[in-house]
Amino acid sequence: MNILQVNDLVVEFPGRRGTLRALDRVSFHIAPGEILGVVGESGAGKSLTGAAIIGLLEPPGRIADGEILLQGERIDSLGHKAMRHIRGRRIGMIFQDPLTSLNPLYTVGRQLIETIRTHLPLDAGQARARAISLLDDTGIPAAAQRIDHYPHQFSGGMRQRVVIALALAAEPSLIVADEPTTALDVSVQAQIITLLKRICRERGAAVMLITHDMGVIAETCDRVAVLYAGRIAEIGPVHEVIHAPAHPYTGGLMASIPDIRDDAVRLAQIDGAMPRLNAMPRGCAFHPRCEQALARCTQARPDLLDAGATRAACWLHDGPRAASAHAFALAEAFA
């Protein structure tokens, strides 16, 4: 059974001038021990997807349709109190800025122990021992002493490790990590990535990793979902999506990444900008920026179509001839 199953998720924001659809029929799943990367430009809907899953949509945002299943149980229709119990106990959260997740007035130990005792039947001594063990597991040196330190006494990388320890406090089955390495230097990023992979391997947890960094995706994830304008443009195994992208948008993202083996003077770029929610073009939302757009792309919006090892929301993959052509392209790419 998948730990997380998202089916046709729709998130809307009602306003005076009408309702804006920020997520439009987003579907994916995450299996036990799997890391799914969610990538895209700012405003694509990455963090919004995570917020909808953990029940922290900012009003007036609302889930208008679809369903979210956690280990087979529907959670999108639960009330605030029920979701508060699920957050922490069954879903752990890691946010971009650890200072927003830690109370500066309390020691990290107090915050960990409080979280543990809220969700697990442990006394104060047992909870403290578990907190020290979690800090040690996440790479905090001298955990038995540092448990009584305040957040400002830790470096940025160490604070992020404390936040990961908080996310793991009640042994959740799902971890939603929203840009967990963005504010960290490259060496600390690598340590956090290694830690997330070890958590998946040893604990069997599922991780949803939200980021704009394709390098982090390549190093960390098993599969990747590429979002564009509130929809999934492409989803599939990370190696295939990165090395043989099936959607022109994914191809543009990959082409814009510098390659030390390439002597090109200028980086490739995707002309234009992502459409505003109140000015979504007819048909495929990407067609005004797409160099491979067909007449059909301006009239009808494609669903996810089989594109070799991945699935892409692109009319270029509609029909057996397109599938054969893409299979040939994949073979050439990996030859």
Residue range 273-332, pLDDT digits in tens: 999 999 999 999 999 999 999 999 999 999 999 999 999 999 999 875 454 444 444 444
Give per-residue pLDDT as tens, 102-140: 999 999 999 999 999 999 999 999 999 999 999 998 889
Please state, in angstroms and rounded to a whole number, the distance separating the CA atoms of residues 21 and 28: 18
pLDDT of residue 322: 55
Task: Specify the pTM.
Answer: 0.90
Closest residue by Cα to residue 98 from 155, 43, 146: 155
* Element at 11 (helix H, strand E): strand 4-15
Domains and CATH numbers, the chain: 4-221 (3.40.50.300), 226-334 (no CATH)
Share of the chain above pLDDT 90, in %: 67
Beta pairing partners, 223: 36, 237
- In angstroms, what CA-CA distances link 275 with 263, 280, 282, 289, 312? 32, 6, 11, 10, 19
pLDDT at 52 exceeding the cut of 70? yes
Give the DSSP letter string of 196-214: HHHHHHHH--EEEEE-S-H
Please state the three-class secondary structure of 49-77 as a single string: HHHHHCCCCCCCCEEEEEEEEECCEECCC
Residue 148 DSSP symbol: T
Residue 18's alpha-carbon distances to 14, 40, 135, 230, in angstroms, are 6, 26, 48, 17
Using DSSP's 3-state secondary structure scheme, residue 217 falls into helix
Structure tokens at 217: 């995706």
Of the ranges 93-102, 118-127, 144-153, 165-174, which one carries the lowest mean pLDDT score?
A: 93-102
Nearest Cα to Cα of residue 316 among 281, 291, 335, 280: 291
pLDDT at 15: 87
292 φ/ψ angles, rounded to the nearest 5 degrees: -110, 15
State yes or no: pLDDT of 73 exceeds 80. Answer: yes
Contact predicate 34/174, CB 8 Å: no
Six-digit token string for 150: 């305040």
At residue 334, does pLDDT exceed 70?
Answer: no
Beta strands 4-15 and 62-70 are antiparallel
